[in-house]
Homo-oligomer: A and B are copies of this chain.
């Protein structure tokens, strides 16, 4: 999508792009994040990015492809944040809290009212009638489950968890906690309340 020529040395032929696709995608994501996919018109995206509709189409294809790319980017960013939180050698409960706090930082980013999770807030609605979005959501959900489960398995190996605990079950509960926080953040809950919810959930999950 981004045409690079820095490696060839020879400069590109035509008129140079006035916009950066990367920052345009970020702005588009912000717009979708608020009003959802169906609730966001291409004119809104054009206004948010400063680009004209033809430029948007030249770079991203169409509205659907643009949203799919925003969704893929969000999953990358979101999964990376979770993995980084779980990767270190903190105690289990601290690692989980790092993951939730990282998520909350995303959910409460941006100006104004909290937007919650991009996936829960915009993709889940479309999933019922859009196979491509459904596939992205299903894959992403499984990935988070797997990351949590791997962390619980590691904790069990290190003796941080009772031997009879089931890492897969705890992973579902950890994901469920993430999902409830995502919903509540968009519905208006305060960050402090959601932090407290996460702390209490972690206590139960860690036994």
Across-interface contacts of A116 in B (CB, < 8 A): 124, 128
B187 contacts A172, CB within 8 Å? no
Question: Within the complex, what minimum Cβ distance (angstroms) separates A145 from chain B?
Answer: 10
Partner of A183, one of B37, B141, B168: B141
- A20 on the interface (CB 8 Å rule)? no
CA distance A186 to B137 in the complex (A): 10
- A176 on the interface (CB 8 Å rule)? yes
Across-interface contacts of A173 in B (CB, < 8 A): 173, 176-177, 201, 204
- A4 on the interface (CB 8 Å rule)? no
CA distance A127 to B36 in the complex (A): 10
A201 contacts B169, CB within 8 Å? yes
CA distance A101 to B172 in the complex (A): 17
Residues 77-104 of A, flagged 1 when their CB comes within 8 A of B and 0 if not, give 0000000000000000000000000000
Across-interface contacts of A138 in B (CB, < 8 A): 187-189
- A175 on the interface (CB 8 Å rule)? yes
Seen from chain A, the residues whose Cβ lies within 8 Å of a Cβ on chain B are 33-39, 113, 115-116, 120-122, 124-129, 134, 137-138, 141, 166, 168-170, 172-173, 175-177, 179-180, 183-184, 186-189, 197, 200-201, 203-205
